[in-house]
Amino acid sequence: MDFAGVQRRLEHLRREIGRHDYQYYVLNEPLIPDAEYDRLLRELEGLEADYPELVTPDSPTQRVGGSPAEGFDEVNHAVPMLSLGNAFSDEELAEFDRRARDRTGSDQPLVYLAEPKLDGLAVSLRYEQGLLLRAATRGDGSRGEDVTRNVRTIAAIPLRLLGTGWPEVLEVRGEVFMPRRGFEAFNRQARERGEKPFANPRNAAAGSLRQLDPRITAQRPLAFYAYGLGEVSTADLPDTQSGRMAWIKGWGLPVSPELAVVTGVAGCLGYYRRMGERRDGLDYDIDGVVYKLDSIAQQEQLGFVSRAPRWALAHKFPAQEELTRLLAVEFQVGRTGALTPVARLEPVFVGGVTVSNATLHNMDEVERKDVRIGDTVIVRRAGDVIPEVVRSLPERRPADAQPILLPAHCPVCGSDIVRPEGEAAARCSGGLWCGAQRKEAIKHFASRRAMDIDGLGDKLVEQLVEQGLIQNPADLYTLTLEQLASLERMAERSASNLLAALDASKATTLERFLFALGIREVGEATARALARSFGDLEPLMAADESRLQQTPDVGPVVAAHVHAFFRQPHNREVIGQLRDADIRWKPLEVVSPAVSPLAGKTFVLTGTLSHPRDEIKDRLLALGAKVAGSVSKKTDYLVAGADAGSKLTKAGELDIPVLDEEGLNRLLEGLSP
């Protein structure tokens, strides 16, 4: 993978992990198994380790989880609530122990405090002068949600600490969870009332703790185990993790009865296997065990990485698996048009729940696993969250087993399904029309960098779609004052302002319009390159893939996406409606990269420049140049701003021409630098 490919992959991984963090931590609606999330995060960590210059402050590796949910006040954690590193094998545990011994300089086996890894919701309890003052969720590790009123309803959590001698400020970290017996009783009662039961105890605990009405939380059978400390106003603390847990237990805070002090890797593995054997008999869900160095001095010696302590590790259990039969496959269309094959199964009891549906991820996975309708398959509750089909058993395959075929047309809107060569995901090409993609398509169309429709936020788009007032972006321009004013929280003045913003958005640029269409892989830079290459919309819509690939930075994959998008009658119909609504732009003078003196030249940008790098990059790409992230023998020019560092040094070593911004501007204007 070249440097630009690494950049694109990092951006993709960060977007995906951020989306799944939000689904898991904020909405409690995870879309992928924990195992798949772990793979994404490990790939991101690996790439960032190889390319440290590409690490960004907003990378998921630099934080812990999602943002606080709406409806609760924010709480800033005095001491961050960090996540834990994961191990999935005995070898990874041994490597963790080796690193800990190396860093502590210990030639003796290390002593750990081991405990079950509860599958619930992490919270921080702040006691001042012995009284429970505030409770907060982990949130993003630095900021959480204030759930004090709800936590006060949990009988296991003392409102006043027992005994005496507690510090003036004591923050206790732990896990709120729903015991299995309580979960089963609650779901049974929910079914009797005709209500939807919870999918699993983890979702039940998270959903219960986030009720806006604490009276509802009070009716839920929640429990709590403490596992550590945050801010404490005294330095006079026990010098071991086990001592601190006994310390807070003495003040009435529950801790896991399974806590155990173990020695070395052998002691950790013995505990791990004992808990694995007892897992199904526990009254609460666990997905592994946690090891923490028992010595606080050694903990302080090891310290932290950006998102996790070096002195603690979560050792995950293997996902639980069962055999069942694949009855059928249905294809679901996601909000971005991606098709996901979903297996309909003979119901089977896996990991404490009955599973009748499981993900097959994508067609590459279907083909790799050789799964067919009628097969006996292994089903895994990966990460104890979302079931997946692991593989088929060909030796048990019936004679009438049927292959799984990708549909030619979208099951929602009937548009063509496209699957560019080399991509795992197949997608609906009816982005402007498809009901499954409707909300996201309109939100993107209205966004600031697209059509910039001021006042048309996400919640308003959702209202308009849900009430049937709009079905595609063109319908925005048919809205009336009466329709808008009738919406929730929309007075006549707000409605008038929105109509004015819609009218103002009609005068735009071709590149903004192209970006607003939401064509797969067409970001702002590619939209700008297409606009400059074709000058107007009609020749672009008529272009074949070969002509599209003559545009700078447009390869076979992007060309296939663009061509497929404009080939769909539904998309062309919506574009026609948008033009009829008087959306307009000034045609551009076509820039032909083939005759540009910069065609094929490779530039590298470094240092502090007076204009955004993306802007400079776009100008270069539009003239047929390439922009790389690192200096090599293939580099033609280095553009250096203030405080240029190692790239400038390397350019000097390789005798590569160096331009300041004035020299670059002269070059872009066709003059000698």
Instruction: Give per-residue pLDDT as tens, 181-200.
Output: 999 898 888 878 877 777 67
- Contact between residue 369 and residue 356 where contact means Cβ atoms under 8 Å apart: no
Provide the β-strand partners of residue 87: 315
Q: Given pLDDT bands bounded at 50, 70 and 90, which one contains residue 25?
A: very low
Identify the domain containing residue 632 by its residue range.
593-668
Query: Under DSSP, is residue 231 helix (H, G, I), strand (E, B) or coil?
Result: strand
Domain-located, residue 70: no
> Residue 164 maps to which CATH number?
3.30.470.30
Per-residue model confidence (pLDDT) at position 72:
80
Choose the final residue of a domain: 562, 591, 620: 591
- Say if pTM beats, i.e. exceeds, 0.95: no
Residues 117 and 27 grouped into a single domain: no
Q: Is 459 a catalytic residue?
A: no
Residues 134 and 267 grouped into a single domain: yes
Q: How many domains does the chain have?
A: 5
> What does the pLDDT look like over 230-262, one tens digit per residue?
999 987 899 999 999 999 988 888 999 999 999
> What does the pLDDT look like over 425-449, one tens digit per residue?
888 988 888 888 888 899 999 999 9
> What does the pLDDT look like over 514-563, one tens digit per residue?
999 999 889 888 898 899 889 999 999 999 999 998 887 788 888 988 99
- Euclidean distance between the first and final Cα of the chain, in Å? 32
> Residue 429 maps to which CATH number?
1.10.150.20
302-324 average pLDDT score: 85
Domain-located, residue 574: yes
Domain-located, residue 307: yes
Cα–Cα dist 179/183, whole Å = 6
For helices 556-567 and 569-580, what crossing angle results, to 10°? Answer: 70
Domain-located, residue 79: no
> What does the pLDDT look like over 462-475, one tens digit per residue?
899 989 999 999 99
Residues 269 and 335 grouped into a single domain: no
Burial of 3 (0-12, 13-18, 19+ CB in 10 A): middle
Burial of 580 (0-12, 13-18, 19+ CB in 10 A): exposed
Choose the final residue of a domain: 316, 331, 355: 316
Per-residue model confidence (pLDDT) at position 293:
97
Residues 291 and 165 grouped into a single domain: yes
SS3 labels along 62-116: HCCCCCCCCCCCEEECCCCCCCCEEECCHHHHHHHHHHHHHHHCCCCCCEEEEEE
Choose the final residue of a domain: 387, 403, 419: 403
Which residue in the list 117, 316, 443, 617 is annotated as catalytic?
Answer: 117
Residues 229 and 244 grouped into a single domain: yes
